[in-house]
A = this chain, B = another copy of it.
Amino acid sequence: MQLYTYYRSTSSYRVRIALALKGLAYQSLAVNLLAGEQRAPAYLAVDPQGRVPALRVEGGQVLIQSGAIIEYLEERYPQVPLLPGDALARARARGIAALIGCDVHPLHNVSVLNRLRGLGQDEAQVQDWIRAWISDGLAAVEQLLEDSGWCLGPQPGLADVYLIPQLYAAERFSVALAAWPRIQRVAALAAGHPAFAQAHPAAQADAPSVQ
């Protein structure tokens, strides 16, 4: 498999965690979002939306959107499951993933921030915007997590795959986690887990040597 990825992209980071948790080998193809490579005609032929991540699977088909890619990996490679077997428990995990994947991260991705700047918002206002969405979302997530272990149990799963990249963004944009002890607990577990380390932005070949 080949993963179109950008080291600091929250949604690419999710897919990298899922691949690492399942122990799946893949080739990373870096797409530099700051350089605008996602809008080059060659990349738009891969993903008409011009986003990362995208996953080229065996046979050549390209899958887009991190949520769809992770569900595909879960169906195709069920070993090391990211979702529990019970339908209600699966819905709970997917609910947290969707809260982060729909109502937090899309509000602070590069294209949104650029459109805000185009409307004349200065950098302080843009930073406030980012922090407000992350804080609102994490405050809700905190209430949905279990009192011990990973987000929803003793093993990392879909909710953790979404939460940890969002916490990387929180740190990058100076959102303090002090009010959310469950989230801090999950962050500490991920910091000691090799799959999360392997997927971390700083461990990617396209990461600048000094960030």
**Which residues of chain B have C-beta atoms less than 8 A from A105's C-beta?**
102
Which residues of B are found within 8 Å of A64, using beta-carbon distances? 95, 99
Are B65 and A99 within 8 A (Cβ)? Answer: yes
CA distance A23 to B146 in the complex (A): 34
Given A48-B144, A57-B88, are A94 and B65 neighbors across the interface (CB < 8 Å)? yes
The answer, yes or no, to whether A69 is at the interface (CB within 8 Å) is yes
Contact (Cβ within 8 A) B87 A140: no
Q: How many residues of A contact B (CB 8 A)?
A: 46
Cα separation A49 to B137 with both chains bound (whole Å): 8
CA distance in complex: A40, B61 (Å): 46
| A90–B88 CA distance with the chains assembled, in angstroms | 21
Contact in complex: B90, A63 (CB < 8 Å) = no
A94 with B68: CB separation less than 8 A: yes
A143 at the interface (CB under 8 A from B): yes
